Structures are given as C-alpha cells and as structure tokens.
A and B are shown apart, each in its own frame.
Chain A
C-alpha cells in the first residue's frame, strides 16, 4: 500500500508541475494523440487494399494492438517516466537522491518523473479501444491486464538495457534503440514474422509476450497460455531489476549540478 501511495504521490506532484505550463501540457498530450491517429489512416487504406485479413489479423485485431501499445507505453512513461532516462541518471550521478531515501530504489527512481505526452498516449489507447473493440467484460479485462503487463515489461526491458551503463560507462543510445525496436515490433501483426527471428522476439526484443500472444488470446482465449505469458513477463521484469542491482555495485556517482523538473 505504501508503494502505491508513493507512486500516486509522485503522479500528483508531477502532474502539478506539468500543469504549471498549461499550454505546453495540453499541446504535448494532444500532439501525441494526433500523431498516433495518422497511422490509423494508414491501416484503413492498407485493409481497404488487402482485404479483410492480413496474415490472420483482422482490422479489429490490428486496432487492438494499436490500442494496447499506446496505453501500455503511456502507463510506463506517465507513472514511471524515469524508465527512459536510467542511463543518464547512472552516468550523471543522479541516483544519489533516490539511494538516500527509504524506499525501494528502482520504484522510487522510476516513479519520480512523468512524461506528459504519455497522457495523450493513454487517452488515445483507451478511446481507440472503445471505438473499435466489442465491449465485453472479458475483452475489457484482458485489455487492462495486457496494458499493465506491457507497461511492466517495457519498464523491465528499459531497466535491463540501460543497466549496461553501469558496466560500459554509457549505454544510453543502445538502450534507447533497443527499446524503440520493441515498440516498433509490437505495432505489426505478429504472424508476419516467421522462423528463427521469433526466438529473438521471445527473448531480447520480447514482442511475442506483450503483443502477439495477447492478440492470439483475444482471438481465442487459452488460460494456460495466459499464465505462460504472464510468467514470461515476470521473468523479463525480474531480469531487468536483477541486472540493475548487480550493476549498482559499479555505480560511481558524480558531481553534476542538477534540479528536479
């Protein structure tokens, strides 16, 4: 409960800070939603040309992906905004503040920052889901569950990728590119990928667990597969947290002058 309270407190204070500049706040949130909408137009044209199915994915299935991804991504950067800046926090010595506070380091560090455009992503994901999906309890429940799981996995992956900064000095570019790759992969029908590449998508870039299988479960529910998927998600997050803590022993801090924005 204390940890949920902490996340909520950070959310409140970050939202208050963002709203200090109302015009920027609104334009960032709305801008992100508009940006996402342009891609929907692409898919409408695509399905108009290709017919009702692309590699087993209907237009509705693709829209499920396009609802799930912005919501999962949005949650990960709104509530855990520092997850995209972990390398910078490490190499510029900004972990000090969090290490001196009596809260779990990873959660405290991740939750202390918010990326405002993520609010636009979240709103967009929800609206698109409501507009394109049948609103059954099962589908709504799975949508919420998979969104949270996707957010957790995206955060776990960023922790994993960025933790290489502890060992290599600066892995920021690598981590950003790797995280971006996963985001790109989850926006396309998983069935277009075949062969050994899928192993890559189950491990280093695990789009399979956070996007492809959730769509399969929406198409045809399978409890065993759901548990396997959630288990894989937990493993990914655990790997990220473990690598971070093992890297922490190499943390060298720093004297960079900084402020909390």
Chain B
C-alpha cells in the first residue's frame, strides 16, 4: 500500500522570549531581550498509509497541532523531510491543498452570520469547482452529514454539533484524499460525538479518505482509529495499532467478579480496585500473574456467581500516556 504521508527526522524549533516576573524585568527585556529555543517537535519519523485512520495522541502542548501544521505546509520545519501524497508541502503547498482537507476544532471556515450553504458554495469556488460540481457535492455531503434541515440557517444559530458537521462537510467539498481532523469532537456531547465518529468512518469507507485525527477523546481513538502515534514533549514515544496499544502495551486486565462470600485476595500483581460486599473489581498485572491463575485462586477461596474479564479502558490508557507513562 502506498504511503499517503511520510515524515523523516522532522524537527521544529521556536524561539521564545524569556521574561522574568515584574516591571523591572519587563524594562530589562525591552533593552536586552533574551531568547530560548523551544523544540516543539523533535526528530520524529512515521508513515501513514492510504485509506488508514490514524490517531495522533498526546497531552496538551505535546506537539500534535505543530506536527499537523508542518505536514500541511503552514509551518516550515527546522529540519527533516515531509512528503504528502508524494508532494513537498512547503514548496508545493498550493498544489497539495487541492488534495487535503483540514478541520481545526478551534478555527472555523464558515461565515458566522451566513447560512452554511453560502460558505460551502464559496469553498467550492475556492477549490475551482464549477457551479454544477459544487451543487452536486453539497447535495451529496448534505445527505451523508444530514445537513438539509439547517443548511439555510445562519451559522450563529446552529448548535456546536451542527456546526462541526458543516465544518467537516466544508473540508470535504473538494473530495480530498487526506482529511486532517484536529480535535473535532471538542466540546460535543456523547451522542453528537458518536454521530461525528460514524460520519468519519463513513467518509473513510465510501471515499477511501485517509484520516489523520488528533483527539483527547478515548472514544474517538478506540472506535474509529486503526493505528495510533503517541507524541509527548515533541517526541514520538509509541507507534502501533490500537489493538496493540490495548492488549500489549498496557499489560493489564480488569476482572469484575461477583461471589457468594466476601472476597479477600492478596496475590502479587493483583490490585483490588473496588470491593463491595460480594463483588470486587481487580486489576491484574499480566507480567506478574496470569488471569487463569487469578481465577483459580479466587475459586479456591469463594464460589463465583458471575465474572467478566475486560481490558483496561482506553480512558485510562490515555490518562497514563498524558502522565508520562510511555515517555
């Protein structure tokens, strides 16, 4: 399979003014400013294959948005090389923009006082679509994203969920091969989040669009992504499939057990997360003990009425990443 994105040794440094606290320091800074170099992205390399849905995960300030901006040609890299659909995003930015779409959750490309239909029509013109092509594309996207009922209402009167659906539709107006989504589900409720996820999956399936997604939402990552890249302090700290992330990387299982007597268990590698009368939630460290051994041990002590074995929730995996668990 061809690579949609290929990044090698990418580094981005920013120069930031250093200022101590207080008015005197401000005056000193004015006369003799001091700068320090911040490495927002440090020597990262990865590939994304065509048609893939990739999660790009990391805590705030990890370098996710900077990396997207480097890949899309907004920022110039300090060093390293980037190839997107075989193009250099910095020397061929204009040409590349016909083939990529972007949604920055915090930045809108819709006119606030006008209905989305006007902004979508303008976007069609910006991407050199004919009036007929634009009309057909808007009809298609309105159908998929269910925009018909509010396409003619001013954006300012739309709910956040409706607005984000319009934003994504706008970024797909020119049928891009790659869609960059930077925290698209920020601020949405669970129902709308699920809807957005379904739409992303649909567009990936129907148009074979490669999806590059950054999100803090465990559900986004778990339910729609196949692979993940984890970035922290600007460096790539983990790369693999979501399945690997859950099964291998976090070498733990959760056992929820209901028993006929109160359960007291003290085995190395087993932690009681919650315990209430005849029910307990245990976290098993697989490197220390197997699930089978733990169940056998429980059965020796009490009778089991019900038992569920599950993986550690994605929420916890992400929380661990953010706390530096993989760094």
Q: Hey, which bits of chain A sit against chain B, CB under 8 A?
A: 2, 5-6, 9-10, 13, 16-17, 20-21, 94-97, 99-104, 108, 169, 249, 251-253, 255-261
Contacts and interface: CB of A to CB of B under 8 A. Distances in A.
B125 to A, nearest CB: 5
The A interface, classified by DSSP as helix, strand, loop or mixed, is loop
Given A100-B102, A253-B69, A17 B114 contact: yes
Interface string B101-124: 010101111111110001100100
A252 B73 CA distance: 12
Interface stretch (B89-97, B244-252, B313-321): B89-97
Contacts of A10: 122
A100 B100 contact: yes
Contacts of A100: 72-74, 97, 100, 102
B113 A13 contact: no
A96 B74 contact: yes
Contacts of A257: 106-107
B278 interface: no
Nearest to A260: B111
Contacts of A104: 94
B107 A97 contact: yes
Nearest to A19: B113
A259 B125 contact: no
Contacts of B114: 13, 16-17, 20
Interface in B72-102: 72-76, 93-95, 97-98, 100, 102
B191 interface: no
A85 B125 CA distance: 24
Contact of A102 (B17, B106, B109, B126): B126
7 contacts: A9-B125, A9-B126, A17-B114, A96-B74, A101-B97, A102-B126, A103-B126
Contacts of B126: 6, 9, 101-103, 108
B246 to A, nearest CB: 30
Contacts of B122: 9-10, 13
A94 B106 CA distance: 11
B154 interface: yes
Contact of A13 (B93, B108, B118): B118
A258 B107 CA distance: 5
Contact of A260 (B93, B100, B109): B109
A99 B125 contact: no
Contact of A99 (B14, B66, B73, B109): B73
Given A20-B113, A101-B97, A253-B75, A2 B106 contact: no
A259 B156 CA distance: 10
Nearest to A20: B113
Contacts of A94: 107
B125 A102 contact: no
B201 to A, nearest CB: 24
Contacts of B109: 97, 260
B98 A20 contact: no
A99 B89 CA distance: 11
Nearest to B180: A100
Given A9-B125, A102-B97, A17 B113 contact: yes
A251 B74 contact: yes
B140 interface: no
A139 B106 CA distance: 50
Nearest to B61: A255
Contacts of A253: 65-66, 69, 74-75
A102 B93 CA distance: 8
Contacts of A96: 69, 74, 104, 107
Interface in B110-158: 110-114, 118-119, 122, 125-128, 154-155
Contacts of B17: 169
B112 A260 contact: yes
Contact of B106 (A13, A99, A101, A258): A258
Nearest to A101: B126
Interface string B199-243: 000000000000000000000000000000000000000000000
Nearest to A108: B126
Nearest to B182: A255
Cβ-closest 9 pairs across A and B? A102-B97, A257-B106, A259-B112, A20-B113, A17-B113, A259-B108, A9-B125, A99-B74, A102-B94
A97 B114 CA distance: 18
A2 B102 CA distance: 23
A103 B93 CA distance: 10
Contacts of B108: 258-260
A253 B118 CA distance: 27
Contacts of B73: 99-100
Nearest to A10: B122
A126 B102 CA distance: 43
Contacts of B65: 253, 255
Contacts of B94: 102-104
A249 B77 CA distance: 10
A2 B125 CA distance: 9
A20 B128 contact: no
A261 B127 contact: no
A2 B128 contact: yes
Contacts of A252: 14, 75
Contacts of A255: 65, 106
